Structure 1
Amino acid sequence: MIVRILGEGQYDVDDAAVDKLNELDAAVEAACQGTDEAVFEEALAALLDSVRSLGTAHPVDAIDSSDLILPGPGSTLAEVSEMLGDEGLIPG
């Protein structure tokens, strides 16, 4: 699957990594229900770092739509809260 991190680019991530990403997504979702920015920033950083480490950079010159779109580093708790769907940022 192709995962886009806003403001950064796309990554090719194996479908087998979805369970791991969903665990980290749940932590982001839980952090969005609170008001502790530090906990939120840590959870978002862990999710984005995992996408970077589990995936490989998608070719910049390829024009492919993303399967998932994640907020970029530096996104605020309020911004990410608006992006959350019924299943968090990552469905499944």
Structure 2
Amino acid sequence: MIVRLMGEGQYRVGDDVVERLHELDDEAARAVDAGHEESLRRVLDTMASSVRDSGERLQDEDLSASDLIIPPDDLSLEEAKELFSGEVWNVSKSSQTRDSSCGSMGAWKTRGPLSGRSMRSPLRSASAPARSSRKRAEPPPR
């Protein structure tokens, strides 16, 4: 699986790392729910460290699609609340589904059955739904 660390790059990781990321994903969601910004940052740092330590860094020229995206560890609590609610994420227009097998909160992936759970996860894919509350600019008239 390919994981993108926002602002850093992509890594190929094994299933054991993905499993650990889902455990940490649940911790991050609990930190946001509890309003603990320092705990959130610690968990995001641990997620990124797990990927760096166990993953294979992909070359910047490698254009492989990311399966999961981990936000930066300096994400504020307010930014996390917006991100986890899906209000500001706008990465791709391609197929957008949620994988119900990704932790108790569910991570966004490029394929998989749509889960009925509410989206509360920092783990996102490069095809996460565009849910920006901002109006998109219309193309100029022809």
Alignment of 1:65-76 (within 5 A): 65-76=65-76
**C-alpha displacement at 1:55, in angstroms?**
0.9
5+ residue gaps, structure 2: 86-104, 107-120, 125-142
Q: Structure 1 54/83 Cα, relative in aligned 2: closer, same or farther at 3 Å?
A: farther
Deviations 1:6-54 (A, max 9, x none): 1111111112322111111111111011222211211111111111112
Q: Which amino acid aligns with 2:68?
A: L
Secondary structure, counterpart of 1:28 in structure 2: helix
Larger Rg, first or second structure (1 or 2) = 2
Which stretches of structure 1, 4 residues or longer, exceed 4 Å deviation after superposition?
A: none
Aligned to 2:57: 57
TM-score normalised per structure 2 = 0.57
5+ residue gaps, structure 1: none
Aligned residue pair count = 91
Q: CA RMSD for the aligned pairs?
A: 1.9
Cα distance between partner residues in 2 of 1:9 and 1:30? 26
Aligned to 1:89: 122
Structure with higher RCO (Cα < 8 A, 6+ apart):
1
